Each structure stands twice: as structure tokens, then as C-alpha cells.
């Protein structure tokens, strides 16, 4: 029933499933920072992991609870007797299939590789490049990992289902659907249960959103904002419970517009297309909702120190050093404001990634930190933006990788909305960093053509002196909207030295 929605749904508790079913298990190929792989070799190694996974019947995807991660150790390092001399490295590459959430290793294997280059990093990169993903020993490694994943779902199916129901009961529909969609199709019994429950939860979600859209449309009609009426009614699909009531509102508005002698209102509600199976339409919609919840599943920003004990020591030492730079009267998780003088016109861009996001939105969240700004006065739903309509449902958290001094920022957002930036040292306790007000916009146009860049830097063309910001030390920055007609973000650049 839900095969299209949940390509990764769980197995049942009574059987391990067939070999063909096992082949549909999906994992994430991840090279954590704690692995301490040189930057030039990280992407190459991740590609090798993906190849090992796919060549041996696994699906390599983002967001899975299960991951394949590497550990690379240098066995020997020599200088070749050549002119010019070269660095010759011999490394041991260990691969692990793990459950990232329970921090359990399911399977592991090791293989040696060699590389030569005029620098250690280049020799290292060549050694990674020489890793053959078709090597025979990887098959047994992957098969053992598959079996362990199946065993996990044999014992956890009921727990997953009850947890998803509990989340739905709290109206956390996106998280509930993501939890179910993260389960691989390895047993028909549990797979069918999860699919059926997913459809029920999606229907609850759809009906909940339908009421919100309909209420917003009625409010817009009361204010004679036909554009806003159309925007909200256009989101109501035939599978939603309030669709008939929405059609009645359309008829009422059409009649009123004609009675007032205005131009005929041509808006039409979405209809059920007999050529499209309604159930398939629901499945696809539920899949998109599940994908909007990013926190579920393994990711490179997780704390992987349990896999890399040496890196863990460095993290502890680093955090101790950070404590000494903050006031002893404050807890280590509290953001501290820096009073040191800052040349705001000579700041560099701090590397940040979106480590967590929540809610229903459109566009790829990677756009927020990809370095590309939407042009001032451009549309909010362009190819450089992430956009949404309900401010209660959406936020993004940027991770700098470690506590750093933030001395300023640039942000590209839709200028008719209010945006809040909060910062945190530990990712749990956040405090306000800045507000971007909806009254500051300098570019106009139609309501959805108002993307604009604001900056704390005086020399920047988007400088906004009304931004109340002071330099802070933090690792995480959270961005969300509190008042939202056409919410959209294109870029957030954090600045420091």
C-alpha cells in the first residue's frame, strides 16, 4: 500500500525476511569530523563508502539510523629515494556499519592501501583513491551488517510504532512520519503495519493543516485580500477533510465578487484527477512531509566520539579550554558576549552547516549555507531559497563545528517577515542574538518578490544599522520566523576571524 512512501520500512518480529528484502536496507555513508580525515580526501572516502554500500545491495541515503563510517590508521610513512623525494604511505582503512542512535557497531572490516605523493595529504588521498570498493571482503562485511539491522527491527517494531503514535498524539506529525519512513522494508508483517499507520498519521496531519489553511483563507477574505485567499485555498488538496467546506467558500466568494460588479474570480479548487490514484497521491504527500524532518537519522554533525576515542580526548580538552575563556560565574553552556574590539569590515566567513531543521518547507536546506544569495527583489521561491508559510512549524540550526567568536553576519530573507537569530554553546540552551524586522525592507515589488540581504557590517551594501547585535561566542545559531506571510531564507553567513 505504501511502498512508494516508505522505501525503508521496518521488518516484522517473526521472520528475518528474504534476501531480496534485505537488499532494500538503506544506510548513510558518513565521514565524521572525528575521523580526522584530511579535507581533500573526505569526499573521496565518502564516495568509496557509498560505492561499497550500493555494490553490495545496500541503499546509500541520507537520514538513515544506520551508517557506514571509516577509521583510517597510518601503518608506515617513508620518504622515497627519488628526485624529487616523495612521501609513501601505507594505511589501514577500517569500515564499520553502526547504529548511530544506540551507538552500536554491527559489523566491521579492515583493508590496507598505499599511496604516494609530494605531500603527506596527497599520499593520503591517493591511498584512499586506491581503495577498491569491489573487493571481495566487503560482501561478507555488508551481509553481517544487514543481518544485524534485521535483528534490530525484529525486536523494535512495536516500539517504533508506539513511539510514532505518541508523537502524532502530540501533533508532531512530521517527526512521527519520519520515524516510520526510516524503517527498511525487510518484513512484510511490520512493513504493512508501518505503512497503514503512516497513512493514518498523514491524514491527521493533512486535516490539521487543512483547518489552518481554511481559517487563514477566511481571515484573508474578511480583509478582502483575494491574493492571500487564493494562496491558502490553493494548498488544500482533495484528500483533506475540509476540502468540501473550502469549495463552499470559493462559491461564496465568487458570488460576492460578481455581485459587487468586479471581474469574474477565476480561482478553482484542486480536483481529484481520476487518472491519478488518490492513495498514491497521499503516499507522495506523506513522503514529502517525512522528509521535512531532518533530525532523525545519522549525520556527520552527531557526536561520533564514541567511535573515535582519541578524537574524544581532543573534544574534552577543547571544551575545557573553552570553559577557561568564559566567566566562572556562568555555566559552560551559556553564551558569552565578547567585549573585545572588532574590525567588522575585515571579517571572514565562518564555515557552518545546517545540522538540524524542523517543519514543512520547500527547497533544499543546504541552500542556507551554500554561499549563494538570492538577488534583492527576487522571488522567495527561487532556486536559491528555502520557503514556508507557517512560522510555528519551521526552524533551522546552523553548526560551526566548535565554539567560535561570531562578530557579525549577513542574512538574505523575505523582507515582509520577522526573523529571530538565537545562539547557543551546547545546542540546548539558546539566547537571542539578533532580530530582523519586517519594517526594514528597502526593496519592493509584488508580495513574493521581496528577497533582501541584511548585514551587520557597515561596509556591506546590505548594512542595516538597526540590527541590535553584539559579538558572541557560540557554536550553534538557530533561525526562525515569528511573523510570516511569505517566509523565505536564501543565505545565512556568520562572520568572524
E strand spans, 207-365: 336-337, 348-349, 353-358
Rounded to whole angstroms, the Cα distance separating 387 from 463 reads: 23
CATH number, span 22-149: 3.30.160
- Alpha carbon 118 to its chain centroid, in Å, reads 38
pLDDT digits (tens, 9 = 90+) for 282-329: 777 776 666 655 444 556 656 677 888 776 444 444 444 444 433 333
Average pLDDT over residues 160-164: 87
- Measured distance CA(192)–CA(227) in Å, rounded: 42
CB 475 within 8 A of CB 398: no
- Locate the domains of the chain by residue range: 22-149, 159-291, 348-496
Pick the CATH number of 348-496 from 3.40.50.1370, 2.102.10.10, 2.60.120.260, 3.30.450.70: 2.60.120.260
Task: Please determine, for residue 276, whether its predicted confidence score (pLDDT) is greater than 80.
Answer: no
- Cα gap 72→34, rounded to integer Å: 11
Name the pTM for this structure.
0.49
In CATH terms, are 22-149 and 348-496 the same topology? no
CB 146 within 8 A of CB 106: no
Task: Tell me the average pLDDT across 117-124.
Answer: 91
Residues with Cβ within 8 Å of 202's Cβ and at least 6 positions away in sequence, in order, are 173, 177, 282, 285, 286, 289
pLDDT > 90: what percent of the chain? 34
The pLDDT of residue 374 is above 70? yes
Cell of 277: 490514484
Amino acid at each position: 500500500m505504501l511502498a512508494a512512501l516508505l522505501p525503508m520500512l521496518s521488518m516484522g518480529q517473526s521472520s528475518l525476511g528474504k534476501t531480496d528484502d534485505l537488499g532494500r536496507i538503506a544506510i548513510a555513508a558518513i565521514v565524521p569530523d572525528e575521523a580526522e580525515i584530511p579535507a581533500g580526501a573526505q569526499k573521496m572516502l565518502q564516495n568509496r563508502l557509498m560505492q561499497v554500500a550500493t555494490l553490495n545491495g545496500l541503499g546509500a541515503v541520507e537520514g538513515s539510523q544506520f551508517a557506514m563510517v571509516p577509521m583510517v590508521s597510518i601503518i608506515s610513512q617513508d620518504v622515497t629515494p627519488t628526485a624529487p623525494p616523495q612521501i609513501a604511505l601505507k594505511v589501514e582503512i577500517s569500515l564499520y556499519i553502526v547504529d548511530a542512535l544506540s551507538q552500536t557497531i554491527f559489523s566491521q572490516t579492515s583493508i590496507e592501501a598505499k599511496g604516494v605523493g609530494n605531500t603527506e595529504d596527497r599520499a593520503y588521498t591517493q591511498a584512499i583513491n586506491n581503495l577498491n570498493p569491489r573487493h571481495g571482503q566487503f560482501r561478507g562485511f555488508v551481509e553481517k551488517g544487514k543481518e544485524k539491522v534485521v535483528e534490530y527491527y525484529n525486536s523494535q517494531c512495536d516500539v517504533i510504532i508506539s513511539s510514532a503514535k505518541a508523537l502524532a498524539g502530540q501533533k508532531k506529525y512530521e517527526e512521527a512520519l519520519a520515524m516510520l519512513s526510516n524503517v527498511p522494508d525487510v518484513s512484510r508483517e511490520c512493513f504493512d503495519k508501518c505503512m497503514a499507520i503512516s497513512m493514518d498519521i498523514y491524514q491527521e496531519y493533512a486535516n490539521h493543516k487543512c483547518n489552518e489553511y481554511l481559517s487563514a483563507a477566511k481571515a484573508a477574505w474578511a480583509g478582502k485580500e483575494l491574493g492571500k485567499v487564493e494562496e491558502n485555498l490553493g494548498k488544500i488538496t482533495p484528500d483533506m477533510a475540509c476540502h468540501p467546506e473550502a469549495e463552499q467558500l470559493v462559491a461564496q466568494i465568487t458570488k460576492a465578487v460578481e455581485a459587487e460588479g468586479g471581474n469574474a474570480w477565476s480561482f478553482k479548487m484542486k480536483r481529484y484527477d481520476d487518472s491519478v490514484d488518490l492513495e498514491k497521491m497521499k503516499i507522495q504527500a506523506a513522503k514529502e512531509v517525512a522528509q521535512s524532518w531532518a533530525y532523525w537519522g545519522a549525520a556527520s554533525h552527531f557526536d561520533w566520539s564514541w567511535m573515535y576515542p582519541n578524537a574524544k580526548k581532543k573534544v574534552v580538552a577543547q571544551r575545557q579550554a573553552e570553559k577557561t575563556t568564559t566567566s566562572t560565574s556562568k555555566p559552560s553552556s551559556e553564551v558569552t558576549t565578547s567585549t573585545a574590539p572588532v574590525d567588522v569590515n575585515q571579517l571572514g566567513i565562518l564555515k557552518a552547516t545546517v545540522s538540524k531543521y524542523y517543519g514543512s518547507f520547500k527547497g533544499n536546506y543546504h541552500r542556507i549555507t551554500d554561499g549563494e544569495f538570492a538577488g534583492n527583489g527576487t522571488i522567495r521561491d527561487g532556486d536559491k531559497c528555502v520557503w514556508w508559510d507557517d512560522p510555528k512549524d519551521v526552524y533551522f540550526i546552523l553548526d560551526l563545528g566548535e565554539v567560535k567568536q561570531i562578530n557579525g553576519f549577513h542574512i538574505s530573507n523575505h523582507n515582509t517577515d520577522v526573523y529571530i537569530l538565537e545562539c547557543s554553546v551546547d545546542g540546548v540552551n539558546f539566547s537571542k542574538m539578533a532580530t530582523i524586522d519586517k519594517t526594514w525592507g528597502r526593496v519592493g515589488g509584488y508580495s513574493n518578490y521581496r528577497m533582501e540581504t541584511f548585514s551587520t557590517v557597515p561596509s556591506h551594501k546590505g548594512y542595516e544599522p538597526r540590527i541590535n547585535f553584539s559579538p558572541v561566542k557560540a557554536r550553534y545559531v538557530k533561525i526562525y520566523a515569528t511573523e510570516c506571510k511569505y517566509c523565505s531564507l536564501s543565505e545565512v553567513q556568520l562572520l568572524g576571524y
